[in-house]
Chain A
Amino acid sequence: MNGVHDMGGMHGMGPVEIERNEPVFHAEWERRVFALRLACAFHRRWNIDMNRHAIEQMPPADYLAASYYERVLFGFTRLLVEHGLVGAGELATGKADGKASVAGVLSPDGIDTLLRTRIRARRDEDVPPKFGVGEPVVARNIHPTGHTRLPRYVRGKQGVICRDHGVFVFPDSSAMTRDPSPQHLYTVRFAARELWGADASTRDGVYLNLWDGYLDAA
């Protein structure tokens, strides 16, 4: 979707401000919501693409005004209800109507494994690549209304395949229908001038990871 989360190349956002000796969390509620979401990932009711798409549903003015953990809270709450772990009524009242039907909960001993296996994007399927390293490609000028990892700033632009990473889950279908649609994932280099015009440096480039489904031969 052409949402405000797709920020690459926007102007007017202000300076980058690095906080000296920044703590990992800035408030107790940030710690708790971070841990709650990870602990619930254990139930495998949604995947990382659905998780990102849930955050993208935040109304644009709210998204821009929110802190990172406010966005996390928004997406997480939405997923809990959408995937039936919590009822909308329970969320409104704060009172549980009964136990959720889940096989178990994440224990402290399971944290290492959860973190190792939480994202399962690489696939074993033997899918042929559409492009070879060195080949020129064009990022498709598409505007899916659902989830996509093809930023607006590269659509319609020409780049070159730099590396083939093998077969990965395709996020667009994974987020919307859970269909992994396994396909090759590449690193594609776009010259800064191709993306940003004559004011950009002739030397510089932007590298993106893009799937077969985003690319056409140039």
Chain B
Amino acid sequence: MSEHHEHLSQHDRPLSGPALRVKALESLLVDKGLVDPHTLDELIDTFEKRVGPRNGARVVARAWVDPAYKARLLTDSRAAIAEFGFFGYGEDMVVVENTPTIRNVVVCTLCSCYPWAVLGLPPVWYKSAPYRARAVIDPRGVLKELGDPVPEDVEVRVWDSTAELRYLVLPERPAGTEGCSEAELAELVTRDAMIGVARVKAPEKRAR
């Protein structure tokens, strides 16, 4: 890129930046009667405060303590998750279970499909080129880089979300959590574990 071009694009940035374009677009859509500004605030609030990975964590914790629920979750994921009555939940879902011999990893190579109602909006890395490109060809390399190498004798299953079916990984329950309540277990479950790129860790031993 030439110096001249760089200079121009920098000069141009304050006028064409997305912040200004979105601001202009919002006032146009309000003037056209296409959106209600109060609803926009509510939508944002919904995804910042109400819908997020804590929902998915509750599903996982329930499956860990209740074998009948877990069986329902793995056979009819959509209906089993619907039992929680999460706000805005309408997704067709597939839940895949990690075991000592199987690791599941979820990706969307073509765009950014993600189970909003149970995990909220996807993190930047999930929507970014490195993850979308590499998760299918080198899942072991990605997991190793992220600090969770997979032993040779464990099978890796990568789920590329190409349709209107959203995937949730049911992670393995960590050892040392036998005394935990369902609510305490839910606190341990992370977003990354439910995408499949991390494992759930047992809580640090508390001083008593």
What is the bound-complex CA distance between A35 and B45, given in angstroms? 10
B116 touches A115 (CB 8 A): yes
A13 touches B39 (CB 8 A): no
- In the complex where A8-B160, A73-B22 touch, is A85 in contact with B34 (Cβ < 8 A)? yes
Contact of A55 among B25, B34, B91, B111 (CB under 8 A): B111
- In the complex where A16-B131, A24-B47, A100-B34 touch, is A112 in contact with B140 (Cβ < 8 A)? no
The interface residues of chain B lying within 8 Å CB-to-CB of A96 are: 28, 31-32
Contact of B32 among A16, A25, A99 (CB under 8 A): A99
B28 touches A116 (CB 8 A): no
Q: Is A91 an interface residue (CB 8 A)?
A: yes
Q: Is B164 an interface residue (CB 8 A)?
A: yes
Q: Which of B40, B91, B163, B192 has the most CB of A within 10 A?
A: B163
A36 touches B22 (CB 8 A): yes
The minimal Cβ–Cβ distance linking A78 to chain B, given in whole angstroms, is 12
- The interface on chain B, measured as residues whose beta carbon lies within 8 A of the other chain's beta carbons, has a size of 79
Contact of B40 among A35, A73, A116 (CB under 8 A): A35
- Please encode chain B, from 71 to 112, with 1 for each CB lying within 8 Å of some chain A CB and 0 for all others: 000000000000000011111101000000000000101111
Range of interface residues on chain A? 35 or more
The interface residues of chain B lying within 8 Å CB-to-CB of A106 are: 35-36, 39
The interface residues of chain A lying within 8 Å CB-to-CB of B155 are: 203-205
The interface residues of chain B lying within 8 Å CB-to-CB of A48 are: 164
13 contacts between A and B (CB under 8 A): A18-B123, A29-B22, A32-B23, A32-B40, A39-B34, A67-B124, A77-B25, A85-B34, A90-B28, A122-B92, A153-B136, A165-B165, A201-B152
Please list the 4 inter-chain residue pairs (A to B) with the smallest Cβ-Cβ separation, ordered nearest first. A115-B88, A8-B109, A116-B90, A121-B164
